[in-house]
Structure 1
């Protein structure tokens, strides 16, 4: 109250009190509006652990037919024709030698390519039982190809231990599996040194 204030301040300041309006002051300080907590955005993709738990990396050994994957192989051939730019390659192939930049570019494209749907064959291996295995790649992981053979059997082939051939139209290409030991999605963006390129 005014009386209380007058009793506790010098008389010389009383004149300022009489003309001033009394205001309520908040002892708790300035009120801060609470922050709005935005709902957490739901991730749009599964991580590796979740994919494994869902069984996305497990192929049933039964029920898959080689004939059903031939359309996938046809799509892969179309994809590789574009990746390798075979029309331009055909025009200049007579002038190509092992030191040409054109061949080096083809090697790089092969290293970065996706092999889901490719028809591959093992021609050399540290494991003799792998030699001669061929089929369509139905799954590719960091270290292995899972290949579906004409007998409708899925076989798991380690990349590092084997040398493969693939056929794109009239071109037979030889690929060293040890240079493909990473996921296809990583190979497409990973910078690869020239000395790691596979041989044709």
Structure 2
């Protein structure tokens, strides 16, 4: 280390205010070298003056703080049930209540069920088909009310266009929108010769909830 490295002295007025006395250059250099020897790892081959002459020594290091990025805590929220009712999201306009408009949807549903039931062959087990249908999506299916506590519902047939937790909405061949409660009703669904009966009391769930529920193949209903 150059002996003239430490030469700065306090101004007289600062010495008086702090109550300290500046050291001589020799004393200051001796203090710095003693401090460095104690602070650095001991090594018999360590050339302190050589290191100081060619390398900067960091006496203190503070890791820079990373700036935290502000994340948008507000997630996009969908419409609630009240807003959906106010906007009439699920309303089918009168000019759209036509049976022929939903026939392509029915054809898509038939293909969906055939694929779901591994081809829906005549040799397929009725119990296997029933289990698949219980968890399937019925939008597009042609359903018929075969039993109900309300006699006026019996015989009603149409394409299922909307399924809610407690009701089915169907379009009949007469282009009429019918709302059929699931409770206390039994519905029949036919596809490729397989006829499956849906017991509404056991079916009071949304389609998404029903897909995760376990059903018994043989149902009962009190009518």
Q: Give the alignment's TM-score, normalised by structure 1.
A: 0.72
- 1:143 counterpart (163, 166, 186): 166
SS at structure 1 position matched to 2:178: strand
What pairs with 1:27-42 in structure 2 (closer than 5 Å)?
35-39=68-72
CA–CA separation in structure 1 for the residues paired with 2:176 and 2:153: 14
CA–CA separation in structure 2 for the residues paired with 1:42 and 1:16: 67
Does the Cα contact within 8 Å between 1:107 and 1:198 map onto a contact in 2? no
CA–CA separation in structure 2 for the residues paired with 1:169 and 1:41: 49
Matched, 1:81 2:114: yes
- The one-character-per-residue Cα deviations of 1:104-129 (angstroms, maximum 9, x if unpaired) are x4333222111111100001011111
- For 2:203, the equivalent position in structure 1 comes to 180
The higher-RCO structure (CA 8 Å, 6+ apart) is 1
Does the Cα contact within 8 Å between 2:169 and 2:178 map onto a contact in 1? yes
Does the Cα contact within 8 Å between 1:164 and 1:176 map onto a contact in 2? yes
Query: Could you say which structure has the larger radius of gyration?
Result: 2
Does the Cα contact within 8 Å between 1:111 and 1:179 map onto a contact in 2? no
- The one-character-per-residue Cα deviations of 1:35-85 (angstroms, maximum 9, x if unpaired) are 432446763855544433331122224542111211111111111112222
- The one-character-per-residue Cα deviations of 1:71-105 (angstroms, maximum 9, x if unpaired) are 11111111111222244x53354xxxxxxxx71x4
CA–CA separation in structure 2 for the residues paired with 1:172 and 1:106: 10
Does the Cα contact within 8 Å between 2:130 and 2:196 map onto a contact in 1? no
CA–CA separation in structure 1 for the residues paired with 2:24 and 2:123: 99
Matched, 1:15 2:23: yes
Matched, 1:43 2:76: yes
What pairs with 1:120-199 in structure 2 (closer than 5 Å)?
120-188=143-211, 190-194=212-216, 198=219
- For 1:53, the equivalent position in structure 2 comes to 86
Structure 2: tracts of 5 or more residues without a match: 1-9, 30-63
Does the Cα contact within 8 Å between 1:111 and 1:198 map onto a contact in 2? no
Quickly say closer, same or farther: Cα 1:46–1:19, change in 2 above 3 A. Answer: farther
Quickly say closer, same or farther: Cα 1:110–1:78, change in 2 above 3 A. Answer: same
SS at structure 1 position matched to 2:158: strand
Structure 1: tracts of 5 or more residues without a match: 21-30, 94-101
SS at structure 2 position matched to 1:91: coil
